[in-house]
Amino acid sequence: MNDQIVPVITIDGPSGAGKGTIAQMLALDLKWNILDSGALYRTLAYFMSKNHIALRDFEKKLEFIKENFIVKFDPGVADEPVKVIFHDQDITNKVRNEEIAKKTSFLASDPLIRTFIKPCQREFKELPGLIADGRDMGTVIFTDAQLKVFLTASLEERAKRRQTQLKRQGSEVNMRLLLQELEERDKKDTEREHSPLRPADDSVIIDTSNLNPKEVLKEIKKYIQI
């Protein structure tokens, strides 16, 4: 039996705090697996919408969902988003947009959805190690992680980053609208009853507002003893 410990580093925080960039840099640097749990929730929202599955029918369709919800992540290359692979098809651009983000935030506050996603997330814990990016990676999913990081940044800075990211993907977005959407999503994520967004008690909290990704990575590496 292989009972080797699989090390996990969790990176939690609100949208635009830099989780995706930092998780990718760490995964590429350490050559570990990556779980982008936000993208996993986004993919479920995309999958349900494509198959016309309403939340109220989730339990009824559970077997079909379990059989067909097959997602993988590829850390890809620096400066490009982590790739979301659904049934061997790259659906990154289909799920990384604000329309899906809104649907996702609604779905993700439902306990049925969170219960379904929990074991899916834990399956990504494989050797040589896992970088898990999300909202509740350190507080709920991988409570025994070797290192827990919580990234924050001001709302304005996070909106600016999101705008740059969306522009790079070819979507033009209005800054005022983006600020409003981020604020609403933050509120929903932090105030929800199930797995609200909050730093784990044993996490390292880093405010990235005035740091570039390399500086954040350097800061995190001070805590890696794996």
Total residues at interface with ligand C5P (CB under 6 A): 15
Residue number with the smallest Cβ distance to ligand C5P: 38
Q: Report the C-alpha dihedral over residues 55, 166, 12, 50, rounded to 10 degrees.
A: 20
- Token pair listed for 40: 């996993």
Q: Among 9, 101, 182, 200, which residue interacts with ligand C5P (rule: CB under 6 A)? A: 101
Per CB under 6 A, 105 contacts ligand C5P: yes
7, 38, 129, 138: which one contacts ligand C5P (CB under 6 A)? 38
The 3-state secondary structure of the chain reads CCCCCCCEEEEECCCCCCHHHHHHHHHHHHCCEEEEHHHHHHHHHHHHHHCCCCHHHCCCCHHHHHHHCCEEEECCCCCCCCEEEECCEECHHHHCCHHHHHHHHHHCCCHHHHHHHHHHHHCCCCCCCEEEEECCHHHHHCCCCCEEEEEECCHHHHHHHHHHHHHHCCCCCCHHHHHHHHHHHHHHHHHCCCCCCCCCCCCEEEECCCCCHHHHHHHHHCCCCC
Binding to ligand C5P by CB under 6 A, coded x per residue (else -) over 180-199, reads: -----x---x----------
Tokens representing residue 50 in the block? 């494509």
162/115 Cα distance (integer angstroms): 29
User: Closer to ligand C5P at the Cβ: 121 or 220?
Assistant: 121
Stretch that binds ligand C5P, among 39-47, 63-71, 164-172, 207-215 (CB under 6 A): 39-47
The span of 32-40, 69-77, 86-94, 122-130 binding ligand C5P (CB under 6 A) equals 32-40
Quick one: which segment of 34-42, 49-57, 73-81, 152-160 binds ligand C5P (CB under 6 A)? 34-42
User: 205: which 2 tokens?
Assistant: 């909290």
Member of 7, 9, 41, 73 binding ligand C5P (CB under 6 A): 41
Name residue 35's beta-bridge partners. Answer: 132
Contact string 55-94 vs ligand C5P (x = CB under 6 A): ----------------------------------------
Residue 52 CB, shortest distance to ligand C5P, in Å, is 21
In whole angstroms, how close is the CB of 169 to ligand C5P at the nearest point? Answer: 13
Q: Which amino acid is at 24?
A: Q
Which one of 108, 145, 153, 159 is in contact with ligand C5P (CB under 6 A)? Answer: 108
Q: Which is nearer to ligand C5P, 7 or 18 (CB)?
A: 18
Residues that bind ligand C5P (CB under 6 A): 15, 37-39, 41-42, 101, 104-105, 108, 134-136, 185, 189
